[in-house]
């Protein structure tokens, strides 16, 4: 396999809709994937992620819309002519064949001569760190090794686009995390435009250049991991990625307020009728020494404390009765000073950590 970066292809999806009876699996989806980008489709089960991937692969024909790879329309192009490699959640390996047989399969379909096929399969196996495994049977491999075989099969014919549907979901947490880093490195090495499907927000944050959050067949937000976390477009995105407290705001003389807290006034849609104040639990400082200069300082009463190993989570009631969550990293001195139920605490929050979001899309 040529491990030099190849010419990757950008993908342009325009106004794609796919219905199954009354279900709108994809509802007027438009999306650009840049050349060589690692883009993740993230959303709950049934949101339309796999349907979109199947449209890209050519296994599902949408009701309407356009799909371009580079400048060429491919919506009518059959899967095997699309220059697309794909891995599936179930691996979809042939259990009765050897590793070599599985990885060589796409080359056999493409009538690649035997000698060249042997070289290319071995190189693909080396790329996924399975050099010398060609003669093994699939049922002699661990889950992680099977996943690597599936990846080798997807990249062996050097496609310019790689599609991956929940490739790590069958693996346990440790191996999954290790494979996330491996797949990311592989992407950097091969440079293929990659569209990756997962429902796991941490996996999406770890791996992606950009993430498209999908719900009910629509794209809620397309942004870098950092922008999604820091500036979610709406409540659905904020809720799906990370933990948050949402507080209702009021308007005073046209200004959005929450009590007399100093807020960062740059809501994406400042006139939205259902604006909410979003606060991430880890951005609140619980100060043993009282108020922090320059921050919003507000009292609350602790009503729950949960020890979670690397951190602890405090639930507290503020003066107006609202509940708020605070996460505090576990470090030496914290362990002895963990608050207990009934304590009055002072919380500090920098104005730049107050995020106003559109609350209408739950």
Instruction: Tell me 360's DSSP state.
Output: S
Nearer to ligand ADP, 45 or 72 (CB): 45
Q: Kindly state the smallest distance separating residue 207's Cβ from ligand ADP, in Å.
A: 17
Q: Are 163 and 33 in contact (CB under 8 A)?
A: no
Q: Kindly state the smallest distance separating residue 212's Cβ from ligand ADP, in Å.
A: 12
Q: Kindly state the smallest distance separating residue 208's Cβ from ligand ADP, in Å.
A: 16
Burial class (CB in 10 A: 0-12, 13-18, 19+), 220: buried
Nearer to ligand ADP, 24 or 184 (CB): 24
Nearer to ligand ADP, 46 or 259 (CB): 46
Strand partners, 347: 286, 298
Closest CA to 1 of 162, 118, 137, 102: 118
Name the helix (H) or strand (E) containing 100.
helix 99-109
Binding range to ligand ADP, per CB under 6 A, among 43-51, 146-154, 288-296, 318-326: 43-51
Distance CA 244, CA 193 (A): 32
Nearer to ligand ADP, 8 or 53 (CB): 53
Nearer to ligand ADP, 45 or 333 (CB): 45
Burial class (CB in 10 A: 0-12, 13-18, 19+), 77: middle
Provide CB contacts within 8 A for 157, sequence distance 6+.
85, 106, 107, 110, 112, 120
Q: Kindly state the smallest distance separating residue 333's Cβ from ligand ADP, in Å.
A: 44
Q: Are 299 and 290 in contact (CB under 8 A)?
A: no
Q: How many residues bind ligand ADP (CB under 6 A)?
A: 11
Nearer to ligand ADP, 43 or 85 (CB): 43
Segment 15 to 34, residues that bind ligand ADP, using CB under 6 A: 20, 23, 25
Nearer to ligand ADP, 51 or 234 (CB): 51
Q: Kindly state the smallest distance separating residue 186's Cβ from ligand ADP, in Å.
A: 23
Collapse the DSSP code of 235 into the 3-class scheme (helix H, G, I; strand E, B; otherwise coil) and give the result: helix
Q: Kindly state the smallest distance separating residue 216's Cβ from ligand ADP, in Å.
A: 9
Q: Kindly state the smallest distance separating residue 213's Cβ from ligand ADP, in Å.
A: 11
3-class SS letters over 251-287:
EECCEEECCCCCCCCCCCCCCCCCEEEEECHHHCEEC
Q: List the end-to-end C-alpha distance of the chain, in Å, as a whole number.
A: 46
Nearer to ligand ADP, 29 or 33 (CB): 29
Contact letters (x/-) for ligand ADP, 44-83, by CB under 6 A?
-xxxxxxx--------------------------------
Q: Is 87 in the site for ligand ADP (CB under 6 A)?
A: no
Q: Are 232 and 266 in contact (CB under 8 A)?
A: no
* Residues near ligand ADP (CB under 6 A): 20, 23, 25, 43, 45-51
């Amino acid at each position: 396999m040529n491990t030099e970066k190849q010419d990757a292809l950008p993908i342009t999806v325009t106004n794609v809709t796919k219905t199954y009876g009354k279900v709108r699996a994809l509802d007027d989806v438009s999306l650009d994937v840049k050349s060589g980008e690692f883009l993740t489709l993230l959303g709950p089960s049934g949101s339309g992620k796999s349907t979109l991937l199947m449209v890209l692969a050519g296994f599902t024909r949408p009701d309407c819309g356009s799909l371009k790879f580079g400048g060429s329309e491919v919506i009518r192009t059959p899967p095997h002519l699309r220059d697309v490699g794909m891995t599936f959640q179930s691996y979809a390996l042939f259990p009765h064949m050897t590793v070599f047989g599985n990885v060589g399969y796409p080359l056999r379909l493409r009538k690649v001569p035997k000698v060249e096929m042997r070289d290319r399969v071995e190189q693909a196996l080396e790329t996924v760190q399975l050099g010398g495994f060609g003669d093994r049977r699939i049922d002699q491999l661990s889950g992680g090794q099977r996943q690597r075989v599936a990846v080798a099969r997807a990249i062996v014919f050097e496609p310019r686009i790689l599609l991956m549907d929940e490739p790590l979901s069958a693996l346990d947490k440790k191996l999954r995390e290790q494979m996330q880093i491996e797949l990311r490195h592989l992407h950097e090495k091969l440079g293929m435009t990659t569209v990756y499907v997962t429902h796991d927000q941490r996996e999406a944050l770890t791996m992606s250049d950009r993430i498209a959050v999908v719900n009910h067949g629509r794209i809620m937000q397309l942004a870098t991991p950092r922008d999604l976390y820091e500036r979610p477009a709406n409540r659905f995105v904020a809720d799906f990625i990370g933990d948050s407290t949402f507080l209702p705001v009021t308007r005073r003389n046209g200004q959005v307020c929450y009590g007399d807290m100093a807020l960062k006034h740059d809501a994406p849609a400042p006139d939205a009728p259902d604006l909410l104040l979003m606060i991430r639990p880890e951005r609140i400082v619980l100060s043993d020494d009282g108020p922090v200069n320059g921050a919003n300082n507000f009292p609350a009463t602790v009503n729950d404390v949960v020890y979670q190993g690397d951190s602890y989570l405090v639930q507290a009631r503020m003066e107006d009765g609202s509940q708020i969550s605070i996460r505090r990293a576990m470090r030496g001195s914290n362990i002895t000073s963990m608050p207990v139920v009934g304590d009055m605490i002072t919380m500090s929050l920098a104005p730049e950590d107050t995020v106003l979001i559109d609350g209408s899309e739950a």
